[in-house]
Chain A
Amino acid sequence: MHRVAIPRIGALAVWRAAARGFLRDGIRPEEVDWSGADTLFDRLPEASDQGRAGSSYTLSKAALGTIETALSHSDPDRYARAYQVVWRMAHGDLRFGDRSDPQMHKLLDHAKAVRRDIHKMHAFVRFREGPPHGERRAFAAWFEPEHPIVEAGTPFFAKRFGDMDWVIATPTLTATFKNGTLTYAETSDAKPPPDDAAEELWCTYYASIFNPARLMTRAMQSEMPKKYWKNLPEARLIPDLVQTAQSRSRAMQEAAPTQAPAFFEAIARAQDRAEEASPDAMEALRRRAAACERCDLACHATQTVWGQGPVDAPLMIVGEQPGDQEDLAGLPFVGPAGQLLRALAQDVGLSIDDAYVTNAVKHFKFTPRGKRRIHQRPNVGEVEACKWWLDLEMRLIKPRLVLAMGATAARALTGRNGAMAARRGRVEPGRHGGDVLVTLHPSYLLRLDGAAKVQATQAFCADLARARDFQRDSAQAVGDVAVGGGGTPGNGDLSGLHRG
């Protein structure tokens, strides 16, 4: 028979070294007595055997962690059981985590109970401040865990309270953290540290944060069992809070509402004054559109995405509807399709910043799927409802050319349906009386691959180039009339077109 004495401090390392040695030497669980508490062990196999390849069985990290956690349980058979489990696993007789095996089940249950006890220790230790040790403030606590968890539970406090010294005493062991070093010793002074004035403030907080209209004492006790109460300063308030809860709650319901205080009227008057109409017509329109409820899209989207650009722009670019990113940012063409448009426009020398860009539909349409939003095409009713805003924008901007990107925009602007393959690249008469250049939507390009993508991109760029030529001509015209020399000829250098 092999006897092992597991010490009170550093038990895990001793068990692990012993178990590893026994396993390597093929010593069966029945041959080991782990209860040698008061005798010196007969034989402790040497600790390190890592050099000998293949001589020992390797546990997964998760399995070893769980087993070691279970060893902090108070059950006297825990060391023997843990070795038995390891032995059986090493001999292919047991799979880790198999709950249908009673031994494994018990071990897993113990690990769970220990984890809970450690968690409660992290929650319910209450420090009281004492005289400082030099520069560092010093605190002490008294805690009574259910299991021997001091060594497993206290490193947490060293990470959390790194800039102060502290002592956590329990009926068995005491953990001391001084100048950044954590040590353990048998408890010599088994009593709680002296009072701390902060406890009064804490109790004030505890009593005030409790809502008497929602009394649920059972829920409280399932998470904060009575066994912990005697070391929690706030727990002494509980009986009184519970007793008076009903009458406090009833009093609240019965009390009639009182007159508003005097400052209330003054605040209301000040707020009325602040709300004044904007003189700018476009700004006024934007504000009205922000509150639009002409169709149901407004209930789901974040905001109305209004157009952007100079109000006197000769070129207007109209897309289909805002996407996920546009909806969040409140700006048109900031998502993937918008970025593609901007990149291609820059390639051909079309200045997007000088055009007024907007969408046929001003709200993002989607269906929620978990944490994502799946884009949906707006239906005819929604496009019709939103045309009201598009028409008002057109009336203010008075564009001389409109670039309609995609079928939805083309329909909203010309009033006509038709296959995009046939229409793209054509200038059609718009409902507003001006010209509409029909082209593809850049998001269509994002969905294509290979040769089709190259071809469609070329066609799209050709249309952008026509819009560029128009933009240049109109800039030239403005330049001729006004300052002169505003338009820059050729080479795609458009810096001269940008506003100062």
Chain B
Amino acid sequence: MAKRSLSEKLSILADAAKYDASCASSGGERRNSSDGKGLGSSGGTGICHSYAPDGRCISLLKILMTNFCIYDCAYCVNRASSRIERARFSVEEVVYLTVEFYRRNYIEGLFLSSGIIRSPDDTMADMVRIVRTLREQENFRGYVHLKTIPDASPELLDEAGKWADRLSINVELPTQKGLDQLAPEKDLTEIRKAMGEVRLRREASREKTYRGKRKAKFAPAGQSTQMIVGADGANDRTILHQSSNLYANYALSRVYYSAFSPIPDSSRILPLKSPPLVREHRLYQADWLLRFYGFEAGELADDGMLDLDVDPKLSWALRHRAAFPVDINTAGKEMLLRVPGIGTRSVQRILGARRHRRLRYEDLAAIGANMKTAKAFIVADGWSPGGLTDAANLRARFAPPPEQMLLI
């Protein structure tokens, strides 16, 4: 094979990484280089440095160390049986790209993932070497997200957590059945064990020693995972149950949902259609409700799938009209959080303002609530929804107009 240029490798190995949804660079340890001895800063909110025409942000240099892989996961473009171009970065090349891109303010840091070459341990050791070089030789203080290999040894995981801000392991599919069918080498138990290991190490690193010293930080920005939506037959309820289980079990920072999109040289056992982007969007909304609004997985997709026409919170409200209208001036926080059109920040503002005075309809608009949605579900001074809450056509006001089906 002819030797590839850096630009050719970058194009192959970035292309291979584009199916990973994660892009966050927020949270974690606060660092900066105002001492003049290093490069970079991190902590607080992440920054999206650009946006691709697919609407997704570009915050990190998201690349694979290599797209050679001994696994044969059907949904993955890099699977062993796929005839795509293969390439491999050297340690120096990844370090060079990260530092030079960072210096020009193109990125917040590095998201490094890899196909599995030789063995999980060999692959993980190579990835750890890249991050260590960045940190030790280049004094790089930007963000690093490392996609760990579930079967790699605990010692390597330990080192990975020492250098990286965030670790992640993709569960890829919500059930073991799906994995057996599409990713024969992957084992949900192995993935969970690795996540459990990360959680234990993170907790241990936060405990102070008995002399009051802080231990070395371990993956300060937490861990995350990704599930592919629409490649196997799992429904939204299964997916959301799996997510809430993962949040509770391993204190994950994020679960990413990635609508399965056609890949070059695709396997025969996969659906060949456009990615279910609306479904992906609804899952993100539902996930948000799980984490910040006190909803439970079972409430949101009670007949299996989320409503594609309206968002999951509005959908829940339309199915539970007996709980509405909610009196903005007296309702508790839990109930305010369940009102469609009112977000967490609006709830905070409502509670803050309520300490001084009663709220009127106009105040809610000023506070930032989406009154077009909220007005059917609330009572405020000078406003009562009357029959609107129970109106038969309420759903139709929000749902997109019906579409003519194609005849072919």
> CB-defined interface of B34-48 with A at 8 Å, one 1/0 digit per residue?
111111110000011
> CB-defined interface of A204-216 with B at 8 Å, one 1/0 digit per residue?
1111111111111
Assuming A159-B32, A162-B34, A303-B192, is B249 touching A210 (CB within 8 A)?
A: no
Chain B residues near A139 (CB-CB < 8 A): 103-104
In the complex, what residue of chain B is closest to A155 when comparing beta carbons? Answer: B34
Contact between B36 and A162 (Cβ–Cβ < 8 Å)?
yes
Is there a chain A Cβ closer than 8 Å to B106's Cβ?
A: yes
Minimum CB–CB distance for A44 against chain B, Å: 33
Is there a chain B Cβ closer than 8 Å to A217's Cβ?
A: yes
Assuming A99-B366, A163-B38, A370-B248, is B192 touching A258 (CB within 8 A)?
A: no
Is there a chain B Cβ closer than 8 Å to A158's Cβ?
A: yes
Minimum CB–CB distance for B37 against chain A, Å: 6
> CB-defined interface of A247-265 with B at 8 Å, one 1/0 digit per residue?
0010011010111110110
Contact between B248 and A202 (Cβ–Cβ < 8 Å)?
no
Chain A interface size, under 10 / 10 to 19 / 20 to 34 / 35 or more: 35 or more
Assuming A180-B36, A209-B52, A215-B53, is B47 touching A119 (CB within 8 A)?
A: yes
Q: Which among A83-91, A123-131, A350-358, A489-497 touches the partner chain? A: A123-131
Chain A residues near B275 (CB-CB < 8 A): 213-214
Is there a chain A Cβ closer than 8 Å to B343's Cβ?
A: no
Q: In the docked arrangement, what's the CA distance between A212 and B23, Å?
A: 18
Q: Which among B10-18, B212-220, B320-328 touches the partner chain? A: B10-18
Contact between A259 and B18 (Cβ–Cβ < 8 Å)?
no
Q: In the docked arrangement, what's the CA distance between A267 and B12, Å?
A: 22
Contact between B53 and A201 (Cβ–Cβ < 8 Å)?
no
Q: In the docked arrangement, what's the CA distance between A207 and B368, Å?
A: 37
Is there a chain B Cβ closer than 8 Å to A337's Cβ?
A: no
Contact residue among B52, B356, B368 (Cβ-Cβ distance under 8 Å from A220) = B52
Is there a chain B Cβ closer than 8 Å to A137's Cβ?
A: yes
Is there a chain B Cβ closer than 8 Å to A291's Cβ?
A: yes
Is there a chain B Cβ closer than 8 Å to A241's Cβ?
A: yes
Minimum CB–CB distance for A52 against chain B, Å: 31
Is there a chain B Cβ closer than 8 Å to A238's Cβ?
A: yes
Q: In the docked arrangement, what's the CA distance between A212 and B197, Å?
A: 37
Chain A residues near B259 (CB-CB < 8 A): 214
Q: In the docked arrangement, what's the CA distance between A257 and B70, Å?
A: 19
Q: In the docked arrangement, what's the CA distance between A278 and B123, Å?
A: 26
Contact between A100 and B104 (Cβ–Cβ < 8 Å)?
no
Contact residue among B10, B51, B353 (Cβ-Cβ distance under 8 Å from A98) = B353
Contact between A217 and B10 (Cβ–Cβ < 8 Å)?
no
Chain B residues near A213 (CB-CB < 8 A): 261-262, 274-275
A window 173-230: CB within 8 A of B:
180, 196, 198-202, 204-220, 223-224
In the complex, what residue of chain B is closest to A216 when comparing beta carbons? Answer: B55
Minimum CB–CB distance for B128 against chain A, Å: 22
Is there a chain B Cβ closer than 8 Å to A273's Cβ?
A: no
Contact residue among A207, A255, A271 (Cβ-Cβ distance under 8 Å from B11) = A207
Chain A residues near B10 (CB-CB < 8 A): 201, 204-205, 208
Assuming A300-B245, A373-B248, is B48 touching A123 (CB within 8 A)?
A: yes
Interface centre among A124, A210, A211 (most CB of B within 10 A): A211
B window 93-122: CB within 8 A of A:
97, 100-101, 103-106
Contact between A257 and B103 (Cβ–Cβ < 8 Å)?
no
Assuming A100-B366, A158-B34, is B196 touching A329 (CB within 8 A)?
A: yes
Contact residue among A129, A160, A253 (Cβ-Cβ distance under 8 Å from B32) = A160
In the complex, what residue of chain A is closest to B356 when comparing beta carbons? Answer: A95
Is there a chain B Cβ closer than 8 Å to A371's Cβ?
A: yes
Chain A residues near B35 (CB-CB < 8 A): 162
Contact between A216 and B80 (Cβ–Cβ < 8 Å)?
no
Q: In the docked arrangement, what's the CA distance between A220 and B57, Å?
A: 8
Is there a chain B Cβ closer than 8 Å to A372's Cβ?
A: yes
Is there a chain A Cβ closer than 8 Å to B133's Cβ?
A: no
Assuming A127-B105, A201-B6, A303-B189, is B51 touching A258 (CB within 8 A)?
A: no
Is there a chain A Cβ closer than 8 Å to B137's Cβ?
A: no
Q: In the docked arrangement, what's the CA distance between A180 and B37, Å?
A: 10
Q: In the docked arrangement, what's the CA distance between A123 and B104, Å?
A: 11
Is there a chain A Cβ closer than 8 Å to B200's Cβ?
A: yes
Q: In the docked arrangement, what's the CA distance between A260 and B265, Å?
A: 10
11 extra A-B contacts, CB within 8 A, seeds A159-B34, A209-B18, A328-B196: A127-B104, A204-B14, A208-B10, A214-B56, A220-B51, A260-B81, A263-B80, A271-B185, A302-B192, A330-B193, A368-B244
- Could you list 17 examples of A-B contacts with CB < 8 Å? A95-B356, A123-B47, A127-B104, A158-B34, A163-B36, A198-B100, A198-B104, A205-B61, A209-B15, A209-B62, A220-B54, A224-B50, A234-B50, A252-B262, A260-B81, A327-B196, A368-B249
Q: Which residues of B contact A (CB under 8 A)?
A: 6-7, 10-12, 14-15, 17-19, 32-41, 47-58, 61-62, 70, 72, 80-83, 97, 100-101, 103-106, 139, 185, 189, 192-193, 195-197, 199-200, 244-245, 247-251, 259, 261-268, 272-275, 277, 349, 352-353, 356, 362-363, 366-368
Q: Which 6 A-B pairs have the closest CB atoms?
A: A219-B55, A216-B55, A368-B248, A162-B33, A260-B81, A328-B196
